[in-house]
Structure 1
Amino acid sequence: MDKVTLQNVHNRIKSYIHNTPVLTSQLINTICEAQVFFKCENFQKMGAFKMRGATNAILNLTETQKSKGVVTHSSGNFAQALSLAAKQMGVKAYIVMPKNAPQVKKEAVKTYKGIIVECDSNLEAREFEAKRIQMEKGATFIHPSNDDAVIYGNATAAIEFLEDYPDLDYIFTPVGGGGLLAGTLLASKYFSKNCKVIAGEPIAVDDAYRSLKSGIIEKNETSNTIADGLRTHLGDRNFPIIKAHVDTIIRVEEDDIVYAMKLIWERMKIVIEPSSAVAFAALLKEKEVLKHKKIGVILSGGNVDLSQLPF
C-alpha cells in the first residue's frame, strides 16, 4: 500500500460517491476549546461512509465475478452500501441480515434492490448463510470491514478531509469492525504531515481497546450498546494497520454517546446515528487534553430509526 495506490482508489470511486461536506459549530468549538471540523458522511449516498468501501470492492471484481453477484452479511449500513453500489453497476447483491436488524435498514436494502436472506442473530448463522449463497450462486463474498478493497475505499473519506484541512492535528473515528479506522490511519499516514488518529469505542463492546492491550483480536461477550454498528470485532486485515498506527482508543459510556448525538442534533441541526456519535463522544471525554488543537471528526453515518431516538 502506498500513496499512489490510495489516490488511484479515490479517483476510481469519485463518480459513484459524494464528496461530503465539512461542517463546523462555533458553540461546539467553545465547548471543546478547540477548532472542530466534522466530515459529514451522514450525507454520503445511502447515509454512511460504507458506500466508499463497497464501491471500491465491486469495482475491483472481474467481469465474470460481477456477473455472478456479490454477497455480504450485515445488520445495517454495509448491507445498504453494497446493495446500492451493486445496483449502480448492474450487479446482483445478496444480503444476509439478522432477523432483528432495524426495519428501517431492511427497507433501505430493498429500495436499493438488495436480495435479503434473513438469519438468526449471531455471527455463526450469518457466516453459514453467506457461505451457502457463495456455493449456490457463485457470488463473491465481500466482508463489511475486513477486506483490503473495502479498507482502501473507506480511506477516501479522510483523504478528502485532509485535502480540505491539511493541518489537522487529530482525526477521530468510531471503531467497530475496524474498516473505517484502518482506512483513516492509512490516509493519515500518506496524506498528512503529522495528523494523529484516535478512535472512540463503547465501553460495552470494547474489543478493539482490549485487542490493542493484548496484541491479539479480542471478542465481546455481549452486544449491549446503543451503537449497533459497532458490535462487530476487528479482523486480520485491519488489525495490523490499527495496531501499528492508531494513537489511542477512548472508551465512552452509553450516556456519553446519547449526549454527543443530541448535541449534534441541537447545535448543528443534523441527524447522526449512535455509532457515529461515538467519535464525538470520545473527543468530548478528552477535551481537556486537546485544547487549542485542530480536530477532525468523521461522522460515519446518519441512518437512524426516528421512532427509536434515545432522547
Structure 2
Amino acid sequence: MTAVPSLAEFESAARSLVGVISHTPALPSRALSDVAGVPVVLKMENLQRTGSFKIRGATYRLAQLTDEERARGVVAASAGNHAQGVALAAQALGIPATIFMPIGVPVPKLLATRGYGAEVVLEGETVATSLRLAAEFAERTGAVLIHPFDHRDVVIGQGTLGLEVYQDVPDVETLLVGIGGGGLIAGVAAAVKEAAARDGRTVRIIGVQAENAAAMRPSIDAGHPVEITTHPTIADGILVARPGAVPFEIVQEYVDEIVTVSDDDIARALLILLEQAKVVVEPAGAVGVAAILAGKVTPQGTTVSILSGGNIDPLLMQRVVAHGLAASGRYLTIRIPLPDRPGQLARVSELLAEVGANVMEVMHTRHGQGLQISEVILQLSIETRGAEHTELTLDTLRRAGFDPIVVPD
C-alpha cells in the first residue's frame, strides 16, 4: 500500500516549484454563485503554464530523478496536456524527452509539445496504443517512463494546486475536482484535507467524472481499480478506462462524493464560462462547473471549482459552443416541408422575424427522400433566447399552418 503524502511533502514540493509554475488566480463567479446559492470561486488553472495543471506533477516527478536516470532521458505518452507538461519540465531540467502521441492529435498540442523541445513520435490511433509504445521504448532504451497519474511523485506535484486553493480561499467548504486517472484529485484532496485538519477544519471534496468515462465510482464500489468500457466524450482529458492504483488508494480515503455529468452538461458549462466568466476552458476542465449547473451537487458554504485546463482546439470549441447553445435551448435546426410555390420562404422568414428568432443558416432544396414533385424542404438553423423562446417560435410556425420538425443535434 502506498503511503499517503504528508502535508510537509506537499509544502516541500510547492517550494521546489516556485519559479517554474504560475500561482494561478482564484476568482469569484457571480453567475455561478447565483445558481448555487453560495459563493462560488473558480481556480483558474487553465491559465497555468502549458495551459493545465499537468506541469506541476511532471516537473516534480522529473526533479526527483537521479542523475543517472536523467542521463537516460524520459518518455511519455499523451494526446495533449501531459505531453506538454513533460516536454516543458524536461526542457527546464535539461533532460532528453520523447513523447508518443496518437495520430490525429490536435495540431496546436502537437506543435506546442515540439516547441518545448521534445522529440514527438506520432504513432497509433489511441492514447492507450501510444502508452504501450512508450513502455516498449522505455524497455528498449532505458528511458524513464513518466506516467500521467499513477505515481506518488506525480500525485504530490498535483497536490500543490490544493495548497494554492486553500491559501487563496481559506474559507473553502466544498471543493469540486475533475477525475480521470485520479492523479489530480488524489493530490488536491490529500493536501487540502491535511491543511484543513491542521487548522481544525474540514473541507468536503467532490469528484466529477464524465458519464462516458466514469471508472472511479465502480472502482470505489469494488474496493480496487477496475477497468470499464468507455465511450466517446468531449472531455477527452479525463477519458480514462481504469484509475491509477496509487491515486485510487488516496481517493478512497479522502474524497467524500463522486458524481457524473453528461456531454450536454459540460457543453453548457463551457458556454456559461465563455459568456459569463470570459474564460476559455477545455471540456475536462469544466466538469465541476457542469456539476453545479446540472444540479448534481449541493454546494455547502464557499465552493471552489478547479478549471484544470484550457487547451481546447479551436475547431472543437466551435462545435462545443454550438452544442452548448443547443443544449441550453438557444440553437436549433428545423426542417419544414413546403408546397413548391412562390412566397413560402418569405412567409416563414416573416414569422421568424415577428418572434425575434435569428436565422443563422438556410437550405432550400427540391431533392430529398420521400419528397413529392410539388414539395420542397426548407432547413433552418435558428438562434433563440432559450427554451421558452424556442417553443414560442415553433408554436408560431405551427399556428401559421407549417409543420416544423426539429432535427436532433
The TM-score bracket by the shorter chain reads over 0.9
Range with greater deviation from structure 2 (120-129 or 137-146): 120-129
Matching residue within 288, 295, 310 for 1:302: 310
In the alignment, the residues of structure 2 paired with residue 187 and residue 176 of structure 1 have an alpha-carbon distance, to the nearest angstrom, of 18
Q: Report the Cα offset of residue 287 of structure 1.
A: 6.7
Q: Does the aligned pair in 1 maintain the 2:179–2:209 contact within 8 Å? A: yes
Q: What is the aligned partner in structure 1 of residue 401 from structure 2?
A: none
Alignment gaps of 5+ in structure 1: none
What SS class does the counterpart of residue 245 from structure 2 fall into? coil
* Cα distance in 1 for residues equivalent to 2:143 and 2:47: 30
2:211 maps to which residue?
Answer: 203
- Work out the CA distance in 2 between the residues paired with 1:100 and 1:82: 20
**Residues 167 and 195, structure 1, Cα contact 8 Å, conserved in 2:** no
Please give the secondary structure, in 1, of the residue aligned with 2:303. Answer: strand
For these two proteins, the number of residue pairs brought into alignment is: 310
Match of 1:265 in 2: 274
Q: Distance in 1 between matches of 2:158 and 2:128?
A: 26
Q: Give the CA deviation at 1:210.
A: 1.6
The CA deviation at 1:285 is 2.8
CA contact (8 A) 1:199 1:282 kept: no
Instruction: Give 1:110's match in structure 2, choosing from 109, 114, 117.
Output: 114
Matched, 1:64 2:68: yes
Deviation at 1:44, TM superposition (A): 0.5
Higher relative contact order (CA 8 A, sep 6+): 1
**C-alpha contact (below 8 Å) 1:201/1:278 kept by paired residues:** yes
Structure 2 partner of 1:189: 193
Displacement of 1:235 in angstroms is 1.0
CA–CA distance in 1 between the matches of 2:96 and 2:184? 25
**Which stretch of the first structure deviates more once superposed, 162-171 or 172-181?**
162-171
Post-superposition shift, 1:137?
Answer: 2.9
The 3-state SS of whatever aligns with 2:287 is helix
What is the TM-score of this pair, normalised by structure 1? 0.95
How far apart are the structure 2 equivalents of 1:99 and 1:198? 34
Larger radius of gyration: 2
Deviation of residue 39 (structure 1)?
Answer: 0.8
**Which residue of structure 2 lines up, in the alignment, with residue 22 of structure 1?**
26
C-alpha separation in 2, matches of 1:139 and 1:288? 43
Partner of 1:274: 283
CA drift at 1:145: 0.5
For residues 167-246 of structure 1, the aligned pairs below 5 Å read 167-192=171-196, 193-232=201-240, 233-246=242-255
Report the 3-state secondary structure (helix = DSSP H, G, I; strand = E; otherwise coil) of the residue aligned with 1:116: strand
Q: Give how far 1:271 is off.
A: 0.3
Q: Who is 1:251 aligned against?
A: 260
- Aligned partners of 1:167 and 1:128: how far apart in 2? 43
- Is the partner of 2:304 in helix, strand or coil? strand
- Alignment match of 2:295 (pick from 269, 282, 286): 286
Matches within 5 A, 1:58-97: 58-97=62-101
Q: Which residue of 1 aligns with 2:402?
A: none
CA distance in 2, matches of 1:68, 1:94: 11
CA offset at residue 89 of structure 1? 1.3
Query: How many Å separate the matches in 2 of 1:23 and 1:248?
Result: 24
Kindly indicate whether residue 185 of structure 2 is the aligned counterpart of residue 150 of structure 1: no
Structure with more of its chain in helix, by fraction: 1
CA-to-aligned-CA distance 1:160-202 (integer Å, 9 cap, x gap): 1101212211110110011101011111221112011101111
Q: Deviations over 1:131-167 (max 9, x none)?
A: 2321333211110011111100000111011012122
Amino acid at match of 2:247: N
1:189-246 superposed Cα distances (whole Å, 9 cap, x missing partner): 2111201110111111111122122222122313310000111131111101111111
| Backbone CA RMSD of aligned residues | 1.5
Distance 1:288 1:305 in 2: 29
Verify the 8 A CA contact 1:71 1:93 in the aligned structure 2.
yes
